[in-house]
Amino acid sequence: MRLLDRYLLRELLFPLGYCLGGFLILWISSDLLNMLHDFQEKNLLVRDILQYYLVTSPEFLVLVLPMALLLALLYSLTNHARHHELIAIRAAGVSLWRLCLPYMAVGFAFTILHFALNELWVPNSVEAAERILNRRTVKQTRPDQRNIVRNLGFRNERDGRTWHIGNYRLKTHEMENVIVEERLPDGARRELYAQSGMRIDKVWTFSNALELTYAPGALDPTDRNPTEKLAIPEFSETPEQIRSEIKISTARSKTVRNTNLPLVEILNYFRLHPRLTRLDEHWLYTQLHGRLAAPWTCLVVVLIAIPFAAGSGRRNVFVGVASSIFIGFSYFVLMQLGVALGSGGYVPPWLAAWFPNISFGLTGLWLAARVR
C-alpha cells in the first residue's frame, strides 16, 4: 500500500469511527429513554440491558453505515480540499480516480459488511431481543410452548399439496394433528390424516396415520391405509420452506408490508409458490431486489461524495455535514418512493429497488468527470 493510500485511509477512518460512535451513542440514549419504563417493568438487570442493545445493534448499523460513511467522506474530502491537499496530489500526477481508490475499497468492504449484517444477524435480532426482554418476567407458558405455531395452513403450489397443521414446533419441526391433501398426476386425490409427524433423515415421517386415496371424480375413498408409522419421501417441503411460509404469511397480513425479509426466506417462498398473485409478486420481488440493492448504497455514497467534496477551493468543513444531510434525505425519499411504487405494481420491482442507486451513482460519475 502506498504512503498516500495509508494517509488518505487514516484521515477517513478517524472521522468514520467518530461518526459511527456518535450515531451509536445517540441511538442508545434515545432508545433507552423510551424503553426505560419497559425495562423496569420487566425487572431487567444492567447486564440484560447491555445484552439487549448488543443483539439489536446490527439492525441499527445497517441503517447508519451508509450515512456514517457519507458524512466521514464529505468531512475528510472537504478538509483535504480546504488545505489544498487534493490540488497538490493531483499536481503530482495522481488522477482523481486513483486518489479515490482507497475510498472505493472502504465502500466495497462496507458493502460486504452491510450484506452480511442484513442477511445473517438482523433477521434473528428481533427474536433474540424479545427473549431478553421477557427473560425475567413471570412466564405464563412453558418454554416449549413459546415456539409453537398453531393452526398453520399453507399450500404448496409447486406440487399441488395443501397442509393443515394443528401445532407446529419451530425448533424441532414436529407436527401435531396433521392433514395433507394433494392431487396426484393421474387425477386421483390423496388425503393423509396423522396424529403427529416429524422430519427424520430428510423424510417426513408420520405416526398413527390414515392414508385415503380417491379415484378421479370419486367422492368416497377407494383405498384406506391405516398405519402406525408412515414415511413419505415425495413430500418435498423442508422446514426452512415452512418457516419462510410462516414469516411471509405473517408479513402479508400486515397493513404496512415492509417487514425485514431475508433473501433465503423469499427464495424458499418462491419454491413453494411458483405462481403468485400480481400484488404478491410485485411486493416480494421488490423486497428481493431491495435486499440486493441496499448493500451497494455504501459504494454509491463514495461515488456521490467525490464530486461534492473534491472540488478545488477553500470551504468550511461544515459544508460536508450539510451536504451529507441533504444527500441522505434525498436518497431516503427516493428509496421509499421506489418501494411504494414497486410494491404497488406501478413500476417494475427491479427498477423500484435499484433506481436510487442507479440515479445517484450515475450522477456521481457525471459530476466527478466535471471536477477540475
pLDDT over 70 at 245, yes or no: yes
Q: Confidence class of residue 114 from pLDDT cuts 50, 70 and 90? A: very high
| Candidate from 162-166, 175-179, 248-252 with smallest mean pLDDT | 248-252
Contacts of 183-192 with C-beta under 8 Å, sequence gap 24+, read 186/216, 187/216, 187/217, 188/213, 188/214, 188/215, 188/216, 189/213, 189/214, 190/214, 191/221, 192/230, 192/232
What is the average pLDDT across 327-354? 87
User: Which of 372, 351, 327, 341 is CA-nearest to residue 66?
Assistant: 327
Q: Give the number of other Cβ atoms within 10 Å of residue 286's Cβ.
A: 26
Confidence of residue 256 (pLDDT cuts 50, 70, 90): very low
Lowest mean pLDDT among 115-129, 140-154, 281-295: 140-154
CA dist., res. 186 & res. 184, Å (int): 6
pLDDT tens-digit series, residues 360-370: 889 888 887 77
276-280 — which CB contacts under 8 Å span 24+ positions? Answer: 278/345, 279/344, 279/345, 280/252
Q: Is pLDDT of 141 > 50?
A: no
Residue 186: pLDDT band (50, 70, 90) is confident
Instruction: Tell me the mean pLDDT in the region 140-152.
Output: 69
Which band of pLDDT confidence, cut at 50, 70 and 90, is reported for residue 372?
Answer: low
Residue 353, number of CB atoms within 10 A of its CB? 25
Q: Is the pLDDT of residue 155 over 80?
A: yes
In contact, 323 and 74? CB cutoff 8 Å: yes
pLDDT at 320: 56
Average pLDDT over residues 151-167: 91
Q: Is the pLDDT of residue 227 over 70?
A: yes
Sign of the alpha-carbon torsion through 64, 66, 69, 72: negative
Q: Examine the pLDDT at 266 and tell me if it is beyond 60.
A: yes
Check whether 289 has a pLDDT greater than 50.
Answer: yes
pLDDT digits (tens, 9 = 90+) for 14-46: 999 999 999 888 988 888 888 888 888 888 888
Q: Which three cell numbers stand for residue 303?
A: 461515488
Report the share of the chain in percent with pLDDT over 70.
90
Percent of the chain with pLDDT over 90: 31
Higher-confidence position of 152 and 222:
152
Give 91 or 144, the one with higher predicted confidence.
91
Helix (H) or strand (E) holding 123: helix 122-133
> Is 177 or 253 the better-scoring residue by pLDDT?
177
Per-residue pLDDT band for 255 (boundaries 50, 70, 90) equals very low
pLDDT(10) > 70? yes
pLDDT at residue number 174: 92
Query: 272: exposed, middle or buried (C-beta count within 10 Å: 0-12, 13-18, 19+)?
Result: buried
**Residue 316: is its pLDDT beyond 80?**
no
39-61 pLDDT, tens digit per residue, is: 888 888 889 899 999 998 888 88
C-alpha cell of residue 365 = 460519475
Q: Supply the mean pLDDT for the chain.
A: 85
